[in-house]
């Protein structure tokens, strides 16, 4: 199967090279025949890569240890699901997965292209295939997962996947992130295609927006799932540590989010054209840069993949991406001129611009943090780094400012808002939110940032409600009398706007949860003998027993702890935190016991047991409102999916 897989990726490489060259020729000569062959080539790239990745999966499932990669990351005792997920357990396989998912996107692009006329698509397909070509080059020449094991023996068993990676979220979140990352290649292709062909109307923008939304949904889900994995598995009670790998997935998310907002200004006002082009370029470049940083060992990270010497290939590619965009922007600078100006700081245009600048500031600060060690060593010769306190100091105020704009931006008038209209729109929500803030202080909430955060979230919620009720009142007065009929017409007519609000509400839920877990987290260490009790928060934790347990993969000890509520001594949960020793890899891990609740998560880690097993020590975390982070994400992703689903009218417009 190794040979078949290798042959398949080489075929895919040739086909995508063909599509790059002849796509450009088809666009230049406006030749439909060549163009059709390029579309078909793109489809065959997908098929070839499907064959390749199936070969690798088959190798994993049949324990083919003649393949070096499979031997490294799998063993016979692993469950089948983790044998498959071991495909992306290391560098080589994850690059192949990257290529495969990218080819899926290009496949859908090729299918979609048949419905779009004009000179745009040949270029778009050519550029999209150039991304494929780049990542296939990496796979074929540098990280080939189909290499044979350099050994005269065929080993009887493999090394096995690291136990920390044998977790459902670890199996799911990398592909999710890759779907986000690779899909971002398509907007870049559209952008360059539009510049090359000169068809810079609203069509490419509309198509790009949908692709970015798809990528954004995957990226959001992937980032949060990664955080969820860290939370469940790593035992430090948190979900985000500003690690370079996390950061590099967050960077393109920030610029993509900025684009999703500023694109509305271009659609409405024909402004910010160059700005939007460069947001798309930045988004894809940051994706590649993130991959480069985490795969090349340039930046030290706890996640970093083994250092490899492919860094220069990525740098060359990033250089090409940026230069192409630069040359084309200059070349088309005339048609990219704004037709209107920003007239007042009190206008929706200005609000959107400030929103964009905040997203970019956050992006810049994070990039600065990630690259600081590199700069510092290059300039002063001293190795220095900046960590979590830096990111929090910069990003917390910026995010709060964004939340504030989330309330202002959608409601303030275009062009120039009069003083009167600002008072009419915002006075009531402001006053009510301030009362809410005072009530929070009275209720004992402390700290400037937490208070500000809750108050701002409430303010935004009020503005959304106020806007909706006002629109509903007008609707009912003019046409539909009943509440339900009025709401349905309103939601149908302005579906995108209200889905946007839904996404905003999801973000508010996430913000409240993040604020609560940052500001009011409780963290305690304690030791217990049998039948002893420890009180924390509103809970009493009693140790029942400490028991050994065993599976094929590991030996473990777990503590059986029952939890009751302190006030009325009612049963709340049984928690069984565990310490595992994996004999095969000589790894020790601890399994967190977690009771999720709407009010708080109770998170218990077994720290150790004394020699005769009579006493056990624990670390407990109480993370208030933690589950709301996951719920909020579900709302956000669900809302985004609603935006992606084509509405019947739009398809018609797309096709014309």
Partner 1 sequence: MNRLFISIVLVFVVVGGLAVFQATRQTVSNVLIPSELISEKSPEKLLRVKVGGKVSSITNYILEPSIELKFNVQDPGVDINPQSVSIPVVYKSLKPDMFTEGRDVIIEGEYSDGILKANKLLTQCPSKYEPPSPDSQYKKD
- The residues that touch partner 1, with contacts defined as CB under 8 A, are 71-72, 89-90, 149-153, 155, 159, 162-165, 233-236, 300-306, 338, 341-345, 350, 353-354, 357-358, 361, 364-365, 368, 372-373, 382-387, 389-390, 393-394, 525, 527, 586-590, 605, 607-608, 610, 615, 617, 619
| Shortest separation between residue 131's beta carbon and partner 1, angstroms | 24
For residue 124, give Cα distances in angstroms to 24, 117, 121, 366, 653. Answer: 9, 12, 5, 31, 19
Residues 300, 87: Cα–Cα separation, whole Å: 24
The rounded distance, in Å, linking the Cα atoms of 610 and 588 is 17
Helix (H) or strand (E) holding 551: none
How far apart are alpha carbons 485 and 477 in whole angstroms? 12
Task: Using DSSP, state whether 344 is helix, strand or coil.
Answer: coil
CA distance 170 to 165: 6
Nearer Cβ to partner 1 (168/608): 608
The rounded distance, in Å, linking the Cα atoms of 67 and 93 is 12
Tell me how far, at minimum, the Cβ of 450 lies from partner 1, in Å.
Answer: 20
d(CA 653, CA 656): 5
Cβ of residue 519: shortest distance to partner 1, in angstroms? 20
Query: Nearer to partner 1 by C-beta: 368 or 468?
Result: 368
Q: DSSP string covering 566-630, please?
A: TTT--EEEEE--EEEEETTTTEEEEEPEEE--SSEEEEEEEEEE-TTSSEEEEEEEEEETTHHHH
Question: Which residue, 365 or 471, is less far from partner 1 as judged by CB?
Answer: 365
Minimum CB separation of residue 390 from partner 1 in Å reads 4
C-alpha gyration radius of the chain? 27
Task: Give the separation between CA 12 and CA 16, rounded to whole angstroms.
Answer: 6
CB-nearer residue toward partner 1: 418 or 610: 610
Q: Which is nearer to partner 1, 19 or 282 (CB)?
A: 282
Q: Closest separation between CB of residue 341 and partner 1, Å?
A: 5
Residues in CB range of 611: below 8 A, 6 or more apart = none
CB of 233 to partner 1, least distance (A): 8
**Which of residues 108 and 390 has its CB atom nearest to partner 1 in the complex?**
390
Closest approach of Cβ 6 to partner 1, in Å? 20
CA–CA gap between residue 146 and residue 53 (Å, rounded): 10
Select 79 or 588, whichever has its Cβ closest to partner 1. Answer: 588
State the minimum distance, in angstroms, from the CB of residue 269 to partner 1: 12
Closest distance to partner 1 from the beta carbon of 475 (Å): 35
Three-class DSSP category at 525: strand
Is the CB of 257 or the CB of 589 nearer to partner 1? 589
Task: Kindly tell me the burial class for residue 104, based on how many C-beta atoms sit within 10 Å of its own C-beta (0-12, 13-18, 19 or more).
Answer: middle
Looking at the Cβ atoms of 32 and 418, the one nearer to partner 1 is 418
């Amino acid at each position: 199967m190794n040979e078949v897989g290798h042959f398949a990726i080489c075929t895919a490489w040739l086909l995508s090279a063909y599509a790059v060259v002849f796509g450009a020729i088809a666009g230049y000569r406006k030749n439909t025949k060549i163009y059709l062959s390029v579309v078909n080539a793109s489809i065959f790239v997908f098929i070839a890569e499907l064959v390749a990745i199936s070969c690798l999966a088959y190798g994993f499932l049949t324990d083919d240890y003649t393949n070096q990669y499979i031997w490294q990351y799998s063993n016979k005792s692993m469950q089948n699901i983790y044998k498959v997920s071991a495909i992306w357990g290391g560098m080589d396989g994850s690059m192949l997965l990257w290529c495969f998912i990218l080819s899926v996107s290009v496949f859908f692009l090729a299918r979609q292209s048949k419905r779009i006329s004009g000179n745009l698509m040949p270029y778009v397909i050519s550029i999209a295939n150039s991304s494929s070509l780049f990542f296939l080059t990496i796979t074929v020449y540098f990280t080939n997962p189909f290499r044979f094991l350099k050994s005269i023996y065929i080993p009887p068993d493999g090394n096995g996947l690291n136990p920390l990676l044998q977790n459902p979220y670890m199996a799911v979140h990398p592909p999710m992130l890759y779907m986000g990352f690779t899909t971002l290649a398509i907007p870049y292709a559209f952008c360059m295609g539009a510049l090359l062909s000169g068809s810079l109307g609203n069509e490419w923008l509309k198509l790009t927006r949908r692709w970015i939304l798809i990528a954004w949904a995957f990226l959001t889900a992937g980032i949060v799932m990664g955080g969820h994995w860290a939370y469940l598995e790593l035992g430090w009670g948190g979900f985000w540590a500003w690690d370079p790998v996390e950061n590099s997935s967050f960077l393109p998310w920030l610029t993509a989010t900025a684009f999703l907002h500023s694109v509305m200004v271009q659609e409405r006002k024909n402004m910010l054209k160059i700005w939007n082009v460069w947001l798309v370029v930045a988004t894809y470049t940051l994706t590649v840069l993130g991959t480069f940083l985490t795969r090349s060992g340039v930046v030290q990270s706890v996640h970093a993949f083994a250092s490899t010497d492919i860094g220069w290939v990525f740098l060359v590619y990033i250089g090409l991406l940026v230069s192409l965009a630069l040359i084309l922007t200059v070349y088309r600078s005339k048609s990219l001129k704004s037709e209107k100006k920003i007239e007042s700081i009190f206008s929706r245009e200005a609000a959107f611009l400030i929103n964009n600048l905040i997203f970019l500031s956050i992006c810049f600060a994070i990039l600065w943090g990630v690259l600081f060690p590199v700069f510092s060593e290059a300039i002063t010769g001293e190795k220095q780094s900046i960590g979590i306190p830096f990111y929090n100091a910069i990003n917390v105020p910026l995010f709060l400012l964004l939340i504030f704009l989330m309330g202002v931006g959608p409601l303030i008038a275009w062009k120039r808002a009069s003083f009167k209209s600002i008072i009419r729109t915002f006075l009531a929500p402001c006053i009510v939110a301030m009362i809410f803030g005072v009530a929070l202080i009275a209720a004992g909430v402390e700290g400037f940032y937490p208070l500000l955060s809750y108050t701002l979230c409430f303010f935004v919620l009020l503005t959304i409600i106020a806007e909706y009720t006002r629109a509903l009142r007008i609707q009912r007065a003019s046409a539909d009398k009943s509440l339900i009929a009025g709401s349905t017409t309103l939601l149908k007519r302005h579906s995108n706007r209200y889905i946007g609000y839904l996404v905003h509400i999801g973000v508010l839920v996430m913000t409240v949860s993040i604020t609560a877990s940052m500001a009011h987290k409780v963290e305690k260490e304690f030791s217990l003998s049998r039948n002893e009790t420890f009180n924390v928060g509103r809970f009493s934790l009693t140790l029942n027993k400490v028991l050994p347990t065993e599976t094929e993969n590991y030996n473990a000890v777990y503590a059986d702890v029952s939890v009751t509520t302190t006030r009325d001594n009612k049963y709340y949960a049984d928690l069984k935190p565990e310490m595992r020793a994996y004999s095969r890899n000589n790894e020790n891990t601890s399994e967190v016991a977690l009771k999720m609740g709407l009010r708080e998560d109770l998170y218990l880690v077994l720290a150790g047991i004394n020699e005769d097993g009579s006493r056990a020590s624990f670390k407990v975390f109480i993370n208030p409102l933690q589950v709301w982070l996951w719920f909020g994400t579900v709302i956000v992703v669900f809302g985004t999916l609603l935006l992606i689903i084509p509405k019947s009218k739009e398809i018609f417009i797309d096709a014309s």
